[in-house]
Every structure is written in structure tokens, then in C-alpha cells.
Amino acid sequence: MAEPAELVNLREKLDSHRLELLGLVRGLTEEAAALQPHGEWSVKQQLAHAATAERVWRDGALLTLSRSGGLPQQWAAAVQEGVAEANGRSLTDLLSTLERERRETLHKVAALSAEQLQVRGPHPAYGGEMSVLQMLRAIYRHDRMHSEQVQGQPTTFQPRRLDAMRGS
């Protein structure tokens, strides 16, 4: 059975956006990675957040498939998990966590069918539904946003309301 084109595209973008983010942070010193310019999150905090957000989006998408929910109501708080402690962790540890979450994501989405990617479930922040594919796309878009932040650039990804996301 051929792999759905949407899944091939998803995996390619997950890989390319993550490689970009990793390329920006590998080689940073512990001190540089812990700096918080202008009170913003440090690179370490962004990496901790990216790993947790990936887990929350992935698990929300899979819960949608099981029809037992979607993203948890407390998703906004969940994606902040570990940020406060991140500067006390080593960069190596944070990168390992990020890589472990990505392996888990790729493993779990590998078997999804085109039909499963279109299953819809609730997203508490948008007051509507998103497809499994939209939830999974949020992971690479989130990586892109943090790559831009690490570079000190304004982010080009701005989450939109669900009515504007339909079909994205």
C-alpha cells in the first residue's frame, strides 16, 4: 500500500524544519544557550518548550483518532511544562529530549492512513475542530517559529483561528 502523499509531505517538513532548528543551536555554549535576551525565552527554554509542545500536539492528534478527545483543555499550560527549569538542564540533555520526541512522532505517524489524517477533533484554544493532519503540521510550523526566534527574527508563523485554517 502506498504511503499517503500528505504523510510524505508531513515527514519531509518535520525533518527539514527540525534540521534547521538543530543547526542553529548545535555548537552553542551552555552560557549562550541560557541567555534570555530582553527577557525573552533562552534557547534552552525554547528547546524544552518545543519538545513538550510536540508531545502535546502528537498525543492530541492520536487521541482524536481514538475518539477520546483531542488536545487537552489545559493544553496551553501543558506546553509550558519544563520551561522554567530548562536553563538548569544541559543543552545535550535538551537536544536528546527533542530528538526522542521526534522519533516518537515519526514512529506513531508512520502507519497513519489518508483517512485517519482527515479525522477531526476539538482544539480548545480555537473553539472548533482541527484535522489530525493540521495538528501534526503544527509541530513543524512550531519548529519554524522557534528557528526564527533563535535567530532574533520576527516569526512568520502566526497561529490562526480555525475558520482561517480550514484546508491548510
Along the chain (168 residues), what's the average pLDDT of each consecutive run of 10 residues? 85 95 94 90 94 90 77 67 92 96 95 92 74 92 91 72 40
| pLDDT given at position 73 | 60
134 domain residue, yes or no: yes
User: Rounded to two decimals, what is the model's pTM?
Assistant: 0.86
Number of separate domains in the chain: 1
Are the C-beta atoms of residues 60 and 135 closer than 8 Å to each other?
yes
55 domain residue, yes or no: yes
Q: Which residues constitute the domain of residue 92?
A: 5-26+41-155
163 domain residue, yes or no: no
33 domain residue, yes or no: no
Q: What CATH number is attached to the domain comprising 14?
A: 1.20.120.450
